[in-house]
Structure 1
Amino acid sequence: MSGERRAELAANLEVVRERIARACDAAGRDPADLTLIAVTKFFPASDVDLLADLGITAIGENRDQEVSAKLLEVRDRDRLDVHFIGQVQSKKAGSVVGYADVVQSVDRPKLVTALDRAAGTAGKVTDVLVQVNLDEASGRGGVAPSGAQGLSDLVAATDHLRLRGVMAVAPLGVDPAPAFARLQELARAIREEHAGAGWVSAGMSGDLEAAVAHGATHLRVGSAILGTRQSHR
């Protein structure tokens, strides 16, 4: 079964990488400048191991309890960067900081304080992205665009967090290009104030081309690589 699963993942990865290459060609960009994050939530550690063998260097997870247990089963944790992409409860900050190399979903001052304290206790500096809500009526996580600069300034002023840029999810059911263009403008403004904040995490399985066209540096791709949300053991 593992051989069949490896072949399935390899074929899916090839398709996704070809899509990225075509999108970069259309945008005049170098695919080497983009990081592909395989979103492995709901999938087992065995899939994570296979993806790492196939060249994936970063995974995305969004459930603290799930990823905490999963990483104990991953064969070689050190070869992967773990990006936490889900909403973080302040009381879970210590747990998330313990395993996450990057927290992409920083969206409120209270969480900044909690993560900074947790990283300090752990004796580390944690990379973070400010999550921007591009669909303010949806109830999704993320700071309003008007508050992104201020929250970025707050992160940059901490001792144990490193501001790396912004993250967003495009609104559902509409052309994602205008939303990603808006995120690109916000990212540019934040980068002018904070030189190290050059990451733009945007684009998923259905809209990665639009994200590449509007400056995304990190793509979070789940179903196009791993298939439907079911366990493969």
Structure 2
Amino acid sequence: MAQPLALKTQLASVEQQIEQACKAAQRDPDSVHLIAVSKTKPASMVVEAYQAGLRDFGENYVQEAVDKIAELAQYKDINWHFIGPLQSNKTRLVAENFAWVQSIDRLKIARRLSEQRPTHLPPLQVLIQVNIDDESSKSGIALEQLQELAAEIDQLPQLTLRGIMSIPSANASEQQQQQSFNALAEAFHALQQEYDNVDTLSLGMSNDMATAIQHGSTMVRVGTSLFGKRQ
């Protein structure tokens, strides 16, 4: 387990990388939001990250996340982001416990989340996951399906559409990577023209954060560079 001092050091390094990438892209560092990907990490590490100043945490596995959220219920200003594939039988737990869902890839899931979101909570903030490189191992819709799904989600009362999430291929050539990131940026800007609430392009992880920021990412999801490699 990372020691608190080590985590603070890692966080400072990640924040410096974000700042440098923003400077190179002539952007304000405050325009990029850091999500700490805490999946498979114990609640104690989330507390360390919280004490270091982080407030947004990403989880992939529903039951593990819900247990962690319950254990850390006293930290009421944590924003929990669900960032993994979501099955129909798990939507209620996500609707009841998370602030954001970044991985919506079909209308059925969106409808269930809206129906199951408790009315005393604010609407779920949601992103549509785009499988930009058409990888069979990844969830997400094709880019050409984005406008139709966005229009349908926009009608659901307990969801607020905020934008797009994607996980581009880690094995793409530099040219392919540029094409994918450019296509995502264009799709994001097109959505922004249609929907007032769309302000989030969740793109970039530990290994491609700088490229993502160069292409307009407003949210980066970082796990390994903060917490170390998963066991």
TM-score where L is the length of structure 1: 0.93
Q: Which residue of 1 aligns with 2:145?
A: 147
Read off the aligned partner of 1:25 and give its amino acid letter. Answer: K
Pick from 80, 91, 94: which aligns with 1:93? 91
SS in 2 for 1:79: coil
1:157–1:120 distance in 2 versus 1, CA, 3 Å: farther
- What is the RMSD computed on CA atoms of the aligned residues? 1.5
2:118 & 2:55 partners in 1: Cα distance? 26
Confirm or deny: 8 A CA contact 1:12 1:224 kept in the other structure.
Answer: yes
Shift of 1:186: 0.5
> Alpha-carbon deviations, 1:168-215, whole Å to 9, x = none?
001121233321211111111111111211100000000000000011
More moved, 36-45 vs 116-125:
116-125
2:46 & 2:118 partners in 1: Cα distance? 29
Shift of 1:67: 0.5
1:83 & 1:144 partners in 2: Cα distance? 22
1:201 maps to 2:202: yes
Read off the aligned partner of 1:131 and give its amino acid letter. Answer: Q
1:161–1:47 distance in 2 versus 1, CA, 3 Å: same
Pick from 56, 65, 82: which aligns with 1:67? 65
Pick from 32, 37, 47: which aligns with 2:30? 32
SS in 1 for 2:133: coil
1:9 & 1:123 partners in 2: Cα distance? 32
Q: Which residue of 1 aligns with 2:212?
A: 211
Unaligned runs of 5+ in 1: none
Unaligned runs of 5+ in 2: none
1:76 & 1:52 partners in 2: Cα distance? 12
2:186 & 2:6 partners in 1: Cα distance? 38
Q: Which residue of 2 aligns with 1:13?
A: 11
1:124–1:118 distance in 2 versus 1, CA, 3 Å: farther
SS in 2 for 1:182: helix
1:120–1:68 distance in 2 versus 1, CA, 3 Å: closer
Shift of 1:75: 6.3
Q: Which residue of 2 aligns with 1:45?
A: 43
1:82 maps to 2:80: yes
Confirm or deny: 8 A CA contact 1:49 1:75 kept in the other structure.
Answer: no
1:222–1:23 distance in 2 versus 1, CA, 3 Å: same
1:65 & 1:87 partners in 2: Cα distance? 13
SS in 1 for 2:3: helix
Confirm or deny: 8 A CA contact 2:95 2:114 kept in the other structure.
Answer: no
Read off the aligned partner of 2:155 and give its amino acid letter. Answer: A
Shift of 1:119: 1.3
Shift of 1:71: 1.5
Task: Count how many residue pairs are aligned between Structure 1 and Structure 2.
Answer: 228
- Give percent identity, aligned residues only: 36
